[in-house]
Amino acid sequence: MRNKTIVLASNNQHKLKEFKEILTEYQILSLNEIEYTEEIEENGKTFEENALIKAKTIHDYLKVQGLNYLVIAEDSGLCVDSLNGEPGIYSARYAGIRGDDQANRDKLLEKLNGKKRDAYFICTILVYYPNGGHKTFVGKTFGKITEQELGSKDFGYDCIFYSNDLNKTFGEATEKEKNGVSHRGRAIQEMIREL
């Protein structure tokens, strides 16, 4: 896989940045960079199904363009034990509107009133090979949901996720600290070992 180009089936700048920081020896392209502009409907019932939908869609698109790139898709989210795994696959649209981080956090904090706060982030990465084969890698990181927001509110649930590894919220951690223990970082490390 050396010196290969990888297409990340996403335009999410945070995810793109995280993958580029960890996979430094590869050229990583976003959907914008391969001029894929359609919305991919993630209607799977699990993180793996959603990752497969994204990866296969982009694999098929590249094939039509005559490009033999490796495709990486990932789906990730926050799961809270006392809420039966919510928000889970709906993490990005928990409050109804995709990407409204503040509304998502507010809803979660409200639902957790008086409940146990153990939680974990999970990331499922699916590597789709040019020949149509694919492989899945999973990373998890454990912690608790805090009662108030601590640190940077820039990304998702980071400011209310207290990491057991770091003894602070992801919102209070540096990028390097977070990448070292994050669910995405761990899934990427699994993927690197395999490839």
Q: Classify domain 5-194 at the CATH topology level.
A: Maf protein (3.90.950)
| pLDDT recorded at residue 134 | 95
| pLDDT recorded at residue 3 | 44
Of 75, 106, 158, 165, which one is the catalytic site residue?
Answer: 75
| pLDDT recorded at residue 2 | 44
Indicate if 101 belongs to the active site: no
Give pTM, 2 decimals.
0.88
| pLDDT recorded at residue 170 | 97
| pLDDT recorded at residue 1 | 43
Please identify every stretch of the chain with a pLDDT value under 50, giving residue numbers as ranges: 1-3
| pLDDT recorded at residue 11 | 85
| pLDDT recorded at residue 175 | 87
For residue 125, which of 179, 63, 42, 183 has the smallest C-alpha distance?
Answer: 183
Domain assignments of the chain as residue spans, ordered by start: 5-194
